[in-house]
Structures are given as C-alpha cells and as structure tokens.
Amino acid sequence: MRNICIYLEFLSEAHKEQIRRTAAETGFTPHFFPLEQFEEARACLQSCEVLYAHSADLLRAAPASLQWYCCSFAGVDLYCTDPTLFANPRCLLTNSNGYGITISEHIIMALLMLMRRMPAYLEGFQTHQWAPPLPIRSICGSAFTILGTGNIGANAAQRLRGMGAARITGLSRSGRPQADFDQVLPISRLEEILPQTQFLIMALPGTPDTLHLLNRSRMALLPPTACVINVGRGSAIEQEALVEALNAGRLAGAALDVMDPEPLPPDHPLWSAKNILLTPHVSGNMTLGRTCDVNVEMFCQDLRNYAAGRPLEHLVDRARGY
C-alpha cells in the first residue's frame, strides 16, 4: 500500500477529488488532514511515502521511509537550511510555485500605492483630513528593475508591460533572455543597474546568495526617488539600512510583504519608517482559489511523474536552495 499524507488548509472538495483521482490512477491512497488534526496526520505519516504539506514540525516527525515532501509554498529556504528536518537524507523536495498571479497582483498594487503616494493620503484618511494633491508617478512610461525572473517576476513583467511600462530589466542568476523583459542581466551586474533604477521589485528566494543582497552600500546606489518592493524573503534586505534611508529621505518609499523576523515585533522600527507600506506576508495568500488550483495541479502532475519514475518537474535543489 503506497500512501500519501496531505496536511493542508484551503483544499476544496474539487481539489481533494482531483488528488484522489490522480492517486487512484497512479496506485496511491491519499489521506487528508485539516491543520487542527496534527496528531492524526503524524500517526498516518509513519506509513506514508509522500507528504504534501507546509509544516516543518510534521516533516520532522516523518519516518526515514518518506521519499518525497511536496511543500505547498514557493519559498522552501527553511527546508534547505535545516538538514535535521529530513530523517531520509535523500528525500525529494518539491515546491509549489503557483503564486505568480496573486503575487504579481500584489506587486502592481504595492507599486501603484507608492507611485500614487498612498502612505501620505492614508494618513489624511486616518485623521479624516482632505489632503492636497501630491506629485505622483505612473506605471505607463516608467522603467522597472525586477530581481528574480521566475514565475513571480515574469508575471509582474507581463502585467507592467500591459500597463505601458517603458522598459523592464530583469536580473537572474543566468541572465538568460526571457519574454516580457526588455533585457535580462546576470545578477552580478546589480550594482551597475541600481543607479538607474526608479522602481526595484525583489522576488528572490531565500538562499545564502540572496542574504542581504540589498545591503547598505548597494542601497546607497539607488537614486533618492527610488522605491523598493519586496515579496521574496525579508532576509534579502538589510532592514536597518532601509529604515535609515527612508527616514532620511534617501529613498522615496518601500512596500514590504516579507520581513525579518516574521511576525514583525510591534516595536520594530520598520513599522513607523517614512513612506513605508507593510503587509503581513500575504501577497501569496493561498485563499485565492486560482493559486490553490495551480498548486494542486502541480502536485498531481508530479505525482504522475513520481509514480512513473520520471524526474519531478518542481524538484528543488536543496544545496542551491530553490
């Protein structure tokens, strides 16, 4: 008997049915547990070959016979940095990068909120004051730099293009050309690109390479009119330097959906930095039906691959971190 333990919130009946059907076709039996049934999931997991979840605690409780952990999140840095999580050192790890649509919509929203001075207008809104008009900027005709050209960066580029962006530069490890980007450069050229960047969109995985990628000295290369948006990992930004730059007016604004640490403590200086917008790591909110649809489809596709002994499409290189 080949078993799959599925420990997830947000699965609809249709999603479960799709998983059941795929499992039946490939000789597996799925066992579903809502988040409140952790103990039941752990007990079942002992006889499972596959785990579909986003729970380090459950993974830590898995037997050495676990062969594949499909994480329902896109960011799997946690699973690449803590080797004690896997009793089976050769356990396969896949991620779920069906977040491109919802996170790119978050990027467009955050960008427009910064361009259109919402931090200032929201202050007037809170105090019931009719604020005078402020100079604003527009996506149409502007240039953008996107760090990370994966599913999220590419979806953002496509939307910016559709709204009339003048020029979209992507930075990736390889620098390989990609549709929807005017140019893609290797990330090693970041320091050359920053002085010409007005809008910096960061959609990078959390790896040793991206830790403090936007550090104090690189931040200083951005013009004072520049805005920063981060939807990847909080660790990619040197936060103390960001707070100082914003408060000193050396940067025009920032919108962060990811921070370090999370949850951000109530007394953290990021909360009250000038022209900042913080959202509590919700840009890739799984409640968006479409996100869940894509992620479940990815899992089913890789279940067919796994059963047939083919390479997994969404396999993560644990050493590289994504």
Residues with catalytic function:
233, 262, 281
Peptide bond into 311 cis (omega under 30): no
Alpha helices in the chain (DSSP H): 13-26, 38-45, 56-60, 77-81, 100-115, 118-126, 151-162, 190-193, 216-219, 239-247, 289-307
Q: What are phi and psi of 267, to 5 degrees?
A: -95, 10
Contact 294, 288 (CB under 8 A): no
- CA 102 from centre of chain: 10
Binding footprint of a copy of itself, residue count (CB under 8 A): 53
Q: What are phi and psi of 29, to 5 degrees?
A: -120, 120
Q: What angle do CA 109, 115, 121 make, to 5 degrees?
A: 90
Q: Of residues 27, 89, 135, 309, which one binds a copy of itself by CB under 8 A?
A: 135
Closer residue to a copy of itself in complex, CB, 267/317: 267
Closer residue to a copy of itself in complex, CB, 83/135: 135
Closer residue to a copy of itself in complex, CB, 29/125: 125
Tell me how far, at minimum, the Cβ of 103 lies from a copy of itself, in Å: 11
Q: How far apart are the first and last CA of the chain?
A: 31
Q: Of residues 12, 29, 129, 217, which one binds a copy of itself by CB under 8 A?
A: 129
Tell me how far apart the alpha carbons of residues 314 and 206 are, in angstroms, rounded to a whole number.
Answer: 17
Q: Of residues 43, 63, 162, 240, which one binds a copy of itself by CB under 8 A?
A: 162
Point out which span in 87-95, 124-132, 167-175, 210-218 binds a copy of itself (CB under 8 A): 124-132
Q: Of residues 112, 143, 211, 312, which one binds a copy of itself by CB under 8 A?
A: 112
Contact 255, 203 (CB under 8 A): no
Tell me how far apart the alpha carbons of residues 115 and 35 are, in angstroms, rounded to a whole number.
Answer: 39
Closer residue to a copy of itself in complex, CB, 226/316: 226
Considering only residues 45 to 104 of the shown chain, the ones binding a copy of itself according to CB under 8 A are: 101-102
Q: Of residues 43, 57, 164, 192, which one binds a copy of itself by CB under 8 A?
A: 164
Check binding of 118 to a copy of itself (CB under 8 A).
yes
Considering only residues 234 to 263 of the shown chain, the ones binding a copy of itself according to CB under 8 A are: 262-263
Closer residue to a copy of itself in complex, CB, 23/156: 156
Q: Of residues 48, 113, 146, 316, which one binds a copy of itself by CB under 8 A?
A: 113
Closer residue to a copy of itself in complex, CB, 130/179: 130
Number of other CB atoms surrounding residue 268 within 10 Å: 16
Q: What angle do CA 11, 13, 17 make, to 5 degrees?
A: 100
> What is the SS3 string spanning 19-50?
HHHHHHHHCEEEEEECCCCHHHHHHHHCCCCE
Binding mask 265-294 for a copy of itself (x = CB under 8 A): -xxx--xx----xxxx-x--xxxx-x----
Contact residues: a copy of itself, CB under 8 A: 101-102, 105-106, 108-109, 112-113, 115-116, 118, 121-122, 124-126, 128-141, 159, 161-164, 262-264, 266-268, 271-272, 277-280, 282, 285-288, 290
